[in-house]
Amino acid sequence: MSGVTQNSEPSTGDLARIESYQHLYVVIEHEEGIPVPVSLEMLGEARRLMDNFNVKYSSNEKVVAVVLGDNVRHLCQELIRFGADVVVYADNHSLKHYTNLLYTKIICQIAEDKNVASSISPNRSENYKKPRYMFFSADNTGRHLSSTVLAQLESGLASDINKLVISDLEIRHEHKTKGQTVKFEKTLEMYRPDFSGFLWTTILCLDNRNPVTAREYHPQSCSIIPGVFEPITKEDQRTGTIIDFEPQISDEDLRIKVLSRNIIKSTIDFESCKIIVSYGRGIRDSPEDNFKLIEQFARALNAEIGISLPISKRPYQTKDQHLLSYMIPERVVGTSGRKVSPVVYIAIGISGAVQHLAGMKESGFVVVINPDSDAAFRDECDIFIKGRLEEVLPTLTEHIKKHMLMIEKRA
Amino acid sequence: MGRYDCMPVRPLNVGVIVKLEPDFSEGNVSYNPDGTLNRAETKNILGPHSAAATLAAFYCKVKYGAKVAIGTMGPPIANQALRQAQLISNADELYLYSDRIFAGADTLATAEVLRLGVSRMNNGLGADIVISGHRASDGETGQTGPQTAWKLGYPFIGNVIDFHIDQEGKSIYAKRFISLYGFYDVIEEIQAPLPVFISADPSYKPSFNTISERLSLARNLNEARNKADNFEKYLQVFNSEGLGADPRYVGLPGSPTIVYKVEKIPKAKAKRRVEFVDGNDTVKLDMVAKKLIQLMTEAPIK
């Protein structure tokens, strides 16, 4: 056992746990060597959490960025500038493109590697088993990767998180503690907005302290919604440790082959249009007629049409193929769809669930049309038109057409 | 060895894992005054993503004459999801994995039950391809599929929008859709040997082009209706013991995570200064129209 002295001496049991599970590992995603935005956002939140953690617990645990790829060495310094203390990278030609099987294996190799742990904290790695915490991105890649990594590491995973707190919690739970009150230190509270967007569920990953089913569950892990956390300001002077990890790759691991990879431009162009008009469940009273009003309005403004998530689940019985083509997942604005930032965003009959707001809050000017002046959107818009779309849209569309005609005549 | 060798190619075994979920469609879904789901008043159905996975299995049935088995973990009423899935896919076998001790399971503990469940399919032969949906409409984690795959030791291919099987080469060729959020989208083509686990992208739609496929389609749809009318004949129910589950790895004891608390999301601090406009005030609406046109015409082209 090491002779580490701490300002506040933990009990022997705690010390063993501290040393078995250490640090916050952040799995970085990048495209051709450029970190995707959520990677830097995760590092920013990791930095803030671990700075507080180290002060609060008088410890020196690290933010460890993990990056896999082909020719990714140049990325490491950049990740340190954005908050990592340590970057562990695996550079190999077969890692050029993500495949779930190979990436899962190598991330688990890194997470459980004692040599890596001893490079990170030389005097405290003797009992190292696994990371204390682990972050992934909640996008198509990270969602699957986090699932398989945590299945391999046999621990808990919460998905789509938008708030994180580390605290000591007194827990009484039928199974986890056999009904006794037990203090769980350094517990990661993972806040997850539910599908309705109105409820926040806090998920914890806890060891079973019930003697009958005693089991340790680490790392405490989550996938993080892109676009919710701020990266730290890039600091060119930040220094850190870079570890070159030599992955173990067998022929079996290479049996999944990426034959081709094509970047596609979405058929729905939310990027180059100036105005996006989105609609939600507010069309319900007469979906087909109301959609016509929305379409006429959007056409007058030369706007692209977006939708809220519930609409993509096709909640209305309709045979109108044209309308159905405007109820597809590709049009969803929000965390389950696209993130947009047009000059003007107009939300019609959308209440403003947090998932939707996260997808449009960077827009320049926001107009909401909604009969419910208490809708959550009221705090995220510049103009709130209180009224039913059936009544507001025809008038508004007429006014717009009238002004546009005048502009054309002048020109 | 030629294509018409007298040794028949063993039929493809396809397994699907599905979930009974609240029906979010208008008229069926019911919300509480605070905007949350009213579970007591909302009907349950085969989830839409589960339906997409089931369609992918039906594609294998029509095109390759695959044997299809559908499995779900849930309470006894979850057999309704199996019946609906059989109607879609003309499934040969239905499996309900149901036990009180499974209740409260998180994704890892659910995946453990499904791993055991898949291995029971097809007289214990398991499946060459297992298909899941993208994610459930109520839980929305999207974790159960890939975790089941990992536990089965099957490589996982997510967000599949199209695929075909080379039965002789025993491989899958799959196209998958990757959205990187704030970055471009990618379509990737993957080749992998069987067995494999795929999740169907929400946009997955099978197409049947040749005449023989269309004949097979019509025959299978007809059979599916007859089978689903008597779906219980095809149903096998397994409890924890029947699956040979280790009680430490399923249900609450096998779940690393717990729900600690549920609260209403507090309203964010207003970042914009909102101006309220009465929707009946046509003069005000005219001002809004002018403002929109001004923004539209003045803003630089991105």
Q: Compute the radius of gyration of chain B from its Cα atoms.
A: 24
User: Hey, are the CB atoms on A367 and B288 less than 8 Å from each other?
Assistant: yes
Q: What percentage of chain B exceeds 90 in pLDDT?
A: 71
User: Hey, are the CB atoms on A201 and B261 less than 8 Å from each other?
Assistant: yes
Name the residue among B177, B262, B280 with its Cβ closest to that of A201: B262
Choose, out of A161, A172, A191, A195, the residue to mutate when testing the contact with B (most B CBs < 10 Å).
A195
Choose, out of B180, B185, B267, the residue to mutate when testing the contact with A (most A CBs < 10 Å).
B180
Domain assignment present for A266:
no
User: Hey, are the CB atoms on A385 and B292 less than 8 Å from each other?
Assistant: no
Domain assignment present for A109:
yes
At a CB cut-off of 8 Å and minimum separation 6, what does B298 contact?
A: none
Answer yes or no: are the C-beta atoms of B238 and B95 closer than 8 Å.
Answer: yes
| A119 and A154 housed in the same domain | yes
What integer pLDDT is reported at residue A124 of this predicted model?
82
CATH code where residue A125 lies: 3.40.50.620
Which chain A residue lies closest to B29 (C-alpha atoms)? Answer: A315
- Torsion of the alpha carbons at B115, B116, B121 and B125, rounded to the nearest 10: 90
Average pLDDT, chain A: 91
| A52 and A96 housed in the same domain | yes
User: Hey, are the CB atoms on A258 and B189 less than 8 Å from each other?
Assistant: yes
Which chain B residue lies closest to A266 (C-alpha atoms)? Answer: B185
Residues of chain A with C-beta less than 8 angstroms from the C-beta of B278: 385-387
Binned at pLDDT 50, 70 and 90, residue B36 comes out as low
State which residues of chain A have pLDDT below 50. Answer: 1-12, 17
From the CA of B130, how many Å to the nearest CA of chain A? 16
Written as one letter, the residue type at B171 is S
CATH class of the domain comprising B13-249: alpha beta
**Spatial distance between the Cα atoms of A175 and A180, rounded to a whole number of angstroms:** 10
From the CA of A47, how many Å to the nearest CA of chain B? 22
Written as one letter, the residue type at B184 is Y
- Which phi and psi (to 5°) does residue B81 adopt? -65, -40
pLDDT tens column, A169-217: 999 998 899 999 999 999 999 999 876 667 889 999 999 999 988 999 9
Domain boundary among A254, A288, A306: A254
What integer pLDDT is reported at residue B1 of this predicted model?
40
Name the residue among A203, A217, A354 with its Cβ closest to that of B265: A354
Among A137, A110, A135, A115, CA closest to A125? A115
pLDDT tens column, A118-140: 999 988 888 999 999 999 999 88
At a CB cut-off of 8 Å and minimum separation 6, what does B164 contact?
A: B63, B172, B173
pLDDT tens column, B72-119: 999 999 999 999 999 999 999 999 999 999 998 999 999 999 999 999
pTM of the model: 0.83
Please compute the mean of the pLDDT values over residues B40-51 and round it to a whole number: 87
- Checking if the pLDDT of B47 tops 80, the result is yes
| A238 and A279 housed in the same domain | no
Delimit the domains of chain B by residue range.
13-249
Structural domain total, chain A: 2
Please compute the mean of the pLDDT values over residues B123-138 and round it to a whole number: 88
**Spatial distance between the Cα atoms of A35 and A356, rounded to a whole number of angstroms:** 24
Name the residue among B26, B288, B301 with its Cβ closest to that of A396: B288
Binned at pLDDT 50, 70 and 90, residue B302 comes out as very low
ipTM for this prediction: 0.88
Domain range for A238: 12-254
Binned at pLDDT 50, 70 and 90, residue B301 comes out as very low
| A324 and A183 housed in the same domain | no
Domain assignment present for A5:
no
| A247 and A279 housed in the same domain | no
Which chain A residue lies closest to B190 (C-alpha atoms)? Answer: A258
> Which has the higher per-residue pLDDT, B170 or A5?
B170
Q: Are strands B67-73 and B13-17 parallel, antiparallel or unpaired?
A: parallel
Binned at pLDDT 50, 70 and 90, residue B25 comes out as low
> Which has the higher per-residue pLDDT, B294 or B141?
B294
pLDDT tens column, B234-291: 999 999 999 999 999 999 999 999 999 988 877 666 678 899 999 999 999 999 999 9
**Spatial distance between the Cα atoms of A1 and B169, rounded to a whole number of angstroms:** 54
Please compute the mean of the pLDDT values over residues B297-301 and round it to a whole number: 60
Residues of chain B with C-beta less than 8 angstroms from the C-beta of A262: 186-188
pLDDT tens column, A272-304: 788 999 999 999 999 999 999 999 999 999 999
Average pLDDT, chain B: 89
Domain assignment present for A7:
no
Residues of chain B with C-beta less than 8 angstroms from the C-beta of A143: 142-143, 146, 158
- Checking if the pLDDT of B184 tops 70, the result is yes
Which chain B residue lies closest to A226 (C-alpha atoms)? Answer: B181
| A55 and A178 housed in the same domain | yes
- Checking if the pLDDT of B13 tops 90, the result is yes
What integer pLDDT is reported at residue B4 of this predicted model?
46
From the CA of B233, how many Å to the nearest CA of chain A? 32
Answer yes or no: are the C-beta atoms of B268 and A228 closer than 8 Å.
Answer: no
Residues A216, A218, A224, A229, CA torsion sign:
positive
